Structure 1
Amino acid sequence: MEDNRPEPPDFAGERETLEGFLDFLRTSVVHKATGLSDADGARRLLPTDTSVAGLIRHLADVERSWFREDIDGQTYVPFRWSEEDPDGEFRVTEADSLSGIIADYEAACAESREVASRYSLEAPCTVDNGHNVRWVMVHMIEETGRHCGHIDILRELLDGVTGE
């Protein structure tokens, strides 16, 4: 599998470093899922609804929640979770394709980049949650990195593929 992930910069300012690491992790999520069938992407290997496809859908929702809703103050941002179904994004059906889930995730990441480009790192979130854009960027590095590790483990269990 060809590795086209962008390397984070070795020497850059704070914003370029944060964006570089987040984009590396975002593309790592896609890289690690590439080549799986829809069935393997949706396969649950744990007692929970956790799957590669479900984790990617979760990350798409998290991108939209933090960037569009919290930073930008957009209303009616689409999520798959709700108070009635807090894990809704993890449920994948036969009607879902892994390629469609990946495309939605990539679209969510592009939306996030566009929102972030309009704000300084010091700018407070529009939603009064006590956070600023810097905090959201660091949190998304942590969140994406953690779930990328989960995807890496699931991929190895599914078909033995490993990698950085």
Structure 2
Amino acid sequence: MDIDTRTEPPEAAGERETLTGFLDYFRDTVVMKAAGLSDADGAKRLLPSLTTVSGLIRHLADVERFWFRDRLDGQQGVPARWTAEDPDAEFRVDDGESLAEIIADYQAACRESCEVLARYDLEDRCRAGDRGQNVRWILVHMIEETGRHCGHLDILRELLDGTTGD
């Protein structure tokens, strides 16, 4: 893994800054956990499930776009790899797929999310979907989702090359 260049979440800040600080920290952790792996290692299945480093990162890119662009902003035609027919499509990764491109797509999805988020307050409700979540709920959910998958990436990285760390 590369040297840790993640920005720590603020220790004393307002609610929005704290929430976005933790989400950004976990987003950086995703990238850090994959840094230095080969394309083959990124796609390597170490578990009976489809879980791979590359698959998790593609999943997280899709989740970013779903919650911020689709649900919160109500954008139409937001790309997603999963479908009703293949709900795990984003996890299907071939050895020849570029981990660097997968990471770049994830980082682009995170930038898109930040652009959308900048237009909303914590109490604002989603424009799409039927559950009425607000921005605060989305941020907490994304912290949970991204943090959980950082744990998966941590384990996969250790299994791949013995690298450990937070």
Segments of 4+ moved more than 4 angstroms: none
Q: Show structure 1 runs of 5+ residues with no match.
A: none
Deviations 1:99-126 (A, max 9, x none): 0000000000000000001000000000
Q: Pick the aligned partner of 1:144 from 133, 139, 146.
A: 146
User: Quick one: distance in 2 between partners of 1:46 and 1:32?
Assistant: 18
Deviation at residue 96 of structure 1 after TM alignment: 1.3
Q: Within 1, Cα distance between the matches of 2:132 and 2:115?
A: 22
Displacement of 1:45 in angstroms is 0.5
Q: Give 3-state SS (helix, strand or coil) of 1:48's partner.
A: coil
The whole-number CA distance in structure 2 between the counterparts of 1:94 and 1:138 is: 33
| 3-state SS of 1:103 partner | helix
Mapped to 2, the partners of 1:52 and 1:72 lie a distance apart of: 29
Equivalent position amino acid for 2:125 in 1 = P
Q: Specify the alignment match of 2:19 in structure 1.
A: 18
CA RMSD of aligned residues (A): 0.7
1:156 equivalent among 140, 153, 158: 158
The alignment's TM-score, normalised by the length of structure 1, stands at 0.98
Q: Structure 2: which 5+ runs fail to align?
A: none
Paired residues, what number? 164
SS in 1 for 2:76: coil
**What does 1:115-154 correspond to in 2, within 5 Å?**
115-127=116-128, 128-154=130-156
